[in-house]
Amino acid sequence: MKEYFENIPAIKFEGSDSKNPLAFHFYDPERLVSGKKMGDILPFAMAWWHNLGANGTDMFGRGAADKSFGQKEGTMEHAKAKVDAGFEFMQKLGIKYFCFHDVDLVPESDDIKITNARLDEISDYILLKMKSTGIKCLWGTANMFSNPRYMNGAGSTNSADVYSFAAAQVKKALDVTVKLGGKGYVFWGGREGYETLLNTDIKFELENIARLLTMARDYGRKIGFKGDFYIEPKPKEPMKHQYDFDAATAIGFLKAHGLDRDFKINVEANHATLAGHTFEHELRICAINGMLGSIDANQGDPCLGWDTDEFPFDVYSATFCMLEVLRAGGLSGGFNFDAKCRRPSYTHEDMFKAYILGMDTFALGLLAADKIISDGRIDSFVKDRYSSFFDTKIGKSIMDGAATLESLSAHAEKLGAPALPSSGRQEELQHIVNDVLFGLR
């Protein structure tokens, strides 16, 4: 078997004293954190599209990275070389999962029957690789945003033919996901949104999206898909207004259409930033609704207003993410690196270094979050902050449902001006976080 990354060894954990850039300094899959293996708490996944496909093309220039893997792009030989290279990549990094769009796997033909036959062929090939390596599929999805037919969206399109085409793609992508034993199936509403109300019927479009998701749910369950469907919210880009703006919006939509038992949320860090939220805000909204599904692990750039899909580097953000994940009892999905190297980092070696950065960043986040939880000061502060609802007669009456506007008014009248609420002590809490982060070793 040809080796695609000849100069790259299997990446090992060497510890934080190591200066070897091709080693993990913090990610040690065997290390126990609160009794669980780090590798099990952090089920990392490779994103087929960025890692094996993205070559650095942007609006101003063509690709700088070579992702041909020795074959002519747009051929099945190339598709197979990507499988071989991808599995070698995951094995060398110890990554246990991958995520894909239909058209990441094979070149798309105008005739969906041809594309589908190619998907059958490549998924047979992937299945063999999965069996021999133990690597699994985290989730699959259909790309319903790149082809010009989706200029007005897929579920939200104004064309019944395009809608049918989208349905056909979802059907096949679900078939492939089930064939590969995928844990989840994602809908990122890439162009499910609009540019101007002058040409748009929002109610019609939202209901049509719900119809498509319902058909997908029904078909998936019919063919034996037992995993979670996910919506991946994003507020904008490519559309000005995207319907799945953020987690709260997507959860409300799922509940309104009776889809909340089958769907959870796939939270992408950079999309949270674009929505004007923090990553941890989005995770908390999902967790309190019982809908925390999976994570697209990346980060944006506060200087730039778009989805830069950078590899996670921000340890504070990873720490706050892992706090949410640990408090929620872990993820049923995984951590998919929906991230790409910067255009000037165009070598194959850079691909490995990028994943090492991301995996080490989340390992640090996990270790810090675990320390914050066992330190206990932050959690007990938050609990105490609401104590007046548990320790006082009036508070208890609110909590047990006995209070009425009349009873609370009578209490307020007796009070005169209430004392100010207790201090939020934000700065003290931030200081505690720094203590934990930088006293890590």
Between 78 and 340, CB nearer to ligand XLS: 340
Joined together, the tokens standing for residue 393 give 């007669």
Q: Does 268 bind Ni ion (CB under 5 A)?
A: yes
78 catalytic per annotation:
no
Stretch 282-341 residues interacting with Ni ion (CB under 5 A): 296, 307, 338
User: What is the secondary structure of 168-236 as a DSSP string?
Assistant: HHHHHHHHHHHHTT-SEEEE--TT-EES-GGG--HHHHHHHHHHHHHHHHHHHHHTT--SEEEE---SS
Q: Does 188 bind ligand XLS (CB under 6 A)?
A: yes
Q: In this structure, which long-range contacts are made by residues 374-381, counting pairs with CB atoms below 8 Å and at least 24 apart in sequence?
A: 374/34, 375/432, 375/436, 377/429, 377/432, 378/429, 378/432, 378/433, 381/425, 381/429
Considering only the C-alpha atoms of the chain, give the largest distance between any 2 of them, rounded to a whole number of Å.
82
348 catalytic per annotation:
no
Q: Which does 116 bind (CB under 5 to 8 A by kind): ligand XLS, Ni ion, none?
A: none
Between 92 and 299, CB nearer to ligand XLS: 299
SS3 366: helix
Between 78 and 234, CB nearer to ligand XLS: 234
Q: What's the distance, Cα to Cα, between the start and end of the chain in Å?
A: 42
Task: Name 45's bridge partners.
Answer: 97, 336
**Angle (nearest 5°) at CA 278 between 274 and 280:** 135
Cα–Cα distance measured from residue 1 to residue 427, given in angstroms and rounded to the nearest whole number? 57
Selected binder of ligand XLS within 175, 205, 228, 232 (CB under 6 A): 232
Between 24 and 336, CB nearer to ligand XLS: 336
Which residue's C-beta sits nearest to ligand XLS?
A: 188
- Give the closest residue to 27 by CA, choosing from 298, 355, 369, 437: 355
Q: Does 234 bind ligand XLS (CB under 6 A)?
A: yes
CB of 270 to Ni ion, least distance (A): 6
Q: Does 104 bind Ni ion (CB under 5 A)?
A: no
Q: Are 52 and 387 in contact (CB under 8 A)?
A: no
Q: Which does 175 bind (CB under 5 to 8 A by kind): ligand XLS, Ni ion, none?
A: none
Between 309 and 324, CB nearer to ligand XLS: 309
Handedness of CA 334, 55, 243, 119 (dihedral sign): negative
Out of 28, 104, 244, 360, which one is annotated catalytic?
A: 104
Contact string (CB under 6 A) for ligand XLS, positions 140-179, x = contact: -x--------------------------------------
Name the phi and psi angles at 145, rounded to 5: -145, -25
Number of helices and strands (H, E) in the chain? 17, 14
Q: Does 230 bind ligand XLS (CB under 6 A)?
A: no
Q: Does 108 bind ligand XLS (CB under 6 A)?
A: no
Q: Does 96 bind ligand XLS (CB under 6 A)?
A: no
CB of 50 to ligand XLS, least distance (A): 8
Stretch 304-343 residues interacting with ligand XLS (CB under 6 A): 307, 338
**CA 436 to the chain's CA centroid:** 26
Selected binder of ligand XLS within 28, 175, 268, 370 (CB under 6 A): 268
Helix locations, 295-347, DSSP H: 315-327
Out of 25, 101, 271, 281, which one is annotated catalytic?
A: 101
Point out which residues bind ligand XLS (CB under 6 A).
Answer: 101, 141, 186, 188, 232, 234, 268, 296, 307, 338
Point out which residues bind Ni ion (CB under 5 A).
Answer: 268, 296, 307, 338
Q: Which residues are catalytic?
A: 101, 104
